[in-house]
C-alpha cells in the first residue's frame, strides 16, 4: 500500500522523535481505488428491532504536500453505469463485466456533486455516497469517480508516475434484491411459529407446499393443527399464498381461507378454522434468502372470540 504523505509526519525512534518534511511533488489521490457496498444496511433501532436503511459509502481524498495551510478545492467527475457479468455462451465477453445502461438520477446521492474542499490544516477530506434502498431488481451500479483538477495548479492528479494510480475510484452499489424463484418456496418448508392464544406459544414444524403459478403456492398444514390438537386429529386444508414481487408483500387469496377442519376425519368440511392476515403488520417475502413472514389470525367462525394471533417465518 502507498503511504499517505502530509506536510509534517512524526517518525518515532528509540532515541528521539523528529519531524520529517515532505519535499516531493504535490499531488492528490483517492485513498482507495475500489469500494463496494450493498444498497441497504441493517441498523438496530431504540427498541432493539433491526431495520433496513440505505448504505453509505465514505470515500477519502488525500493531498500530499509540504504546505497544508490553505484550503484545496478538488474537482471530480462521475459516471454511473449498470453492470453485470456476461453469461452468454459464445460471447467474446463471456465471464467479464459488461455495461448494460446508464444509472438515472435519483438512484444515489453525493454529499457534493462535483468538488470537495480539503480544509486548511487538513491532509484529507471525505466524499460520501448514499445508496437508494429500493425493492427493485435493477442490477448492480458502478460509479467511477475521477479527479479532474484542483484549485492549486501545482497539484497533479493521482500518484506520481505514468499510471496515475488512484486518480479514479470505482464504487459498486450492489443490488440486494433478487427475482422471485418460486421453486425456493415449493416442497417441504420449515415454519417457526410464535402464537398468542393457543399453546404451544413457540413451535417449529414442517408444511408441504405446491406451486399454483409463477408467484403463488398452496400450503397444507399451516398453524400445525395436528400437533396442537392431537385428539381428534384435525384435517388440514390448503391455504393459497400469493407473492407480490413489486411490493414484496405476501397475500392470502382469497383474504380469508379455511386452514383446517376440527372434525378430524379427512376429507372434511365441518368445523372449519379460518385464517386471515393482520393488516397492521405486513407479511413480507425475502426473494434473496428464500423466506417469507406471515402475520395472521386464526378464528373459529362459529365463535366471536378468542382469535389466535400468529407470527411465522417460513423457509425451505
Q: Is the pLDDT of residue 257 over 60?
A: yes
Q: Based on the fold, state whether residues 60 and 84 are members of the same structural domain.
A: yes
Q: Based on the fold, state whether residues 232 and 165 are members of the same structural domain.
A: no
Q: Which residue has the higher pLDDT, 200 or 129?
A: 129
Kindly indicate the confidence band of residue 21, based on its pLDDT and cuts at 50, 70 and 90. Answer: confident
Q: Based on the fold, state whether residues 78 and 206 are members of the same structural domain.
A: no
Kindly indicate the confidence band of residue 303, based on its pLDDT and cuts at 50, 70 and 90. Answer: confident
At 209-219, the pLDDT tens digits run 999 999 999 99
How many domains are contained in the chain? 2
Structural domain includes residue 2: no
Q: Based on the fold, state whether residues 160 and 196 are members of the same structural domain.
A: no
Which range has highest mean pLDDT (14-18, 150-154, 267-271)? 150-154
Q: Is the pLDDT of residue 52 over 60?
A: yes
Q: What is the mean pLDDT of residues 183-189?
A: 96
Kindly indicate the confidence band of residue 18, based on its pLDDT and cuts at 50, 70 and 90. Answer: low
State the pairing for strand pair 238-243/216-220: antiparallel
Q: Based on the fold, state whether residues 215 and 252 are members of the same structural domain.
A: yes
The pLDDT of residue 226 is 84
Q: Based on the fold, state whether residues 143 and 268 are members of the same structural domain.
A: no
Q: What is the mean pLDDT of residues 149-168?
A: 97
Q: Based on the fold, state whether residues 223 and 273 are members of the same structural domain.
A: yes
Structural domain includes residue 135: yes
What lies within 8 Å, CB to CB, of 154 at 6+ separation is: 26
Question: Which helix H or strand E contains 228, and what residues bound it?
Answer: helix 225-228
Q: Based on the fold, state whether residues 71 and 190 are members of the same structural domain.
A: no
Q: Choose one of 174, 206, 233: the last residue of a domain.
A: 174
Q: Choose one of 174, 201, 228: the last residue of a domain.
A: 174
The model carries a pTM of 0.65
Q: Choose one of 153, 174, 195: the last residue of a domain.
A: 174
Which region among 23-32, 69-78, 303-312 has the lowest average model confidence (pLDDT)? 303-312
Find cell 532515541 and name the residue. Answer: 15
Q: Is the pLDDT of residue 198 over 70?
A: no
At 54-83, the pLDDT tens digits run 999 999 999 999 999 999 999 999 999 999
Give me the half-sphere count of Cα atoms (radius 13 Å) on the Cβ side of residue 316: 15
Q: What is the mean pLDDT of residues 284-302?
A: 91
Q: What is the mean pLDDT of residues 77-96?
A: 93
Range of the structural domain that residue 121 is part of: 8-174
Q: What is the mean pLDDT of residues 19-39?
A: 89
Structural domain includes residue 123: yes
Q: Based on the fold, state whether residues 73 and 92 are members of the same structural domain.
A: yes
CATH number for position 76: 2.60.40.2030
Kindly indicate the confidence band of residue 13, based on its pLDDT and cuts at 50, 70 and 90. Answer: very low
State the pairing for strand pair 250-252/187-196: unpaired
Is residue 35 a contact partner of residue 170, using CB atoms and an 8 Å limit? yes
The pLDDT of residue 186 is 97
Q: What is the mean pLDDT of residues 302-315?
A: 88
Q: Based on the fold, state whether residues 165 and 271 are members of the same structural domain.
A: no
Structural domain includes residue 3: no
271: nearest Cα among 261, 279, 281: 261
Question: What mean pLDDT is reported for the chain?
Answer: 89
Structural domain includes residue 1: no
Find cell 417469507 and name the residue. Answer: 292
Exposed, middle or buried, 75 (CB in 10 Å: 0-12/13-18/19+)?
Answer: middle
Q: How many other C-beta atoms are found inside a 10 Å radius of the C-beta of residue 258?
A: 17
Q: What is the mean pLDDT of residues 120-128?
A: 97
Q: Based on the fold, state whether residues 193 and 240 are members of the same structural domain.
A: yes
Amino acid at each position: 500500500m502507498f503511504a499517505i504523505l502530509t506536510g509534517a509526519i512524526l517518525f518515532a525512534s528509540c532515541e528521539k522523535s523528529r519531524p520529517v518534511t515532505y519535499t516531493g511533488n504535490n499531488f492528490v489521490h483517492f485513498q482507495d481505488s475500489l469500494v463496494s457496498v450493498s444498497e441497504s444496511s441493517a441498523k438496530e433501532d431504540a427498541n432493539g428491532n433491526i431495520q433496513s436503511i440505505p448504505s453509505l459509502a465514505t470515500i477519502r481524498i488525500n493531498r500530499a504536500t509540504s504546505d497544508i495551510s490553505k484550503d484545496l478545492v478538488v474537482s471530480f467527475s462521475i459516471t454511473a453505469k449498470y453492470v453485470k457479468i456476461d453469461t452468454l455462451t459464445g460471447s467474446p465477453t463471456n465471464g467479464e463485466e459488461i455495461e448494460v445502461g446508464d444509472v438515472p438520477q435519483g438512484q444515489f446521492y453525493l454529499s457534493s456533486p462535483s468538488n470537495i474542499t480539503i480544509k486548511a490544516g487538513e491532509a484529507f477530506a471525505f466524499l460520501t455516497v448514499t445508496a437508494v434502498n429500493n425493492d427493485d431488481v435493477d442490477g448492480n451500479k458502478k460509479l467511477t469517480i475521477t479527479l479532474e483538477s484542483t484549485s492549486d495548479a501545482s497539484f497533479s492528479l493521482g500518484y506520481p508516475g505514468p499510471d496515475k494510480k488512484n486518480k479514479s475510484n470505482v464504487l459498486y452499489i450492489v443490488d440486494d434484491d433478487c427475482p422471485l424463484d418460486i421453486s425456493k418456496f415449493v416442497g417441504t418448508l420449515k415454519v417457526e411459529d410464535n402464537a398468542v392464544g393457543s399453546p404451544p406459544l413457540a413451535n417449529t414444524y414442517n408444511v408441504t407446499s405446491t406451486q399454483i403459478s409463477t408467484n403463488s403456492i398452496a400450503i397444507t398444514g399451516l398453524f400445525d393443527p395436528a400437533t396442537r390438537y392431537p385428539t381428534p386429529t384435525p384435517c388440514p386444508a390448503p391455504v393459497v399464498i400469493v407473492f407480490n414481487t413489486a411490493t414484496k408483500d405476501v397475500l392470502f387469496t382469497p383474504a380469508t381461507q379455511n386452514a383446517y377442519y376440527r372434525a378430524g376425519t379427512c376429507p372434511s368440511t365441518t368445523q372449519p378454522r379460518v385464517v386471515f392476515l393482520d393488516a397492521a403488520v405486513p407479511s413480507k417475502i425475502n426473494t434473496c434468502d428464500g423466506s417469507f413472514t406471515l402475520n395472521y389470525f386464526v378464528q373459529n367462525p362459529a365463535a366471536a372470540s378468542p382469535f389466535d394471533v400468529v407470527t411465522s417465518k417460513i423457509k425451505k
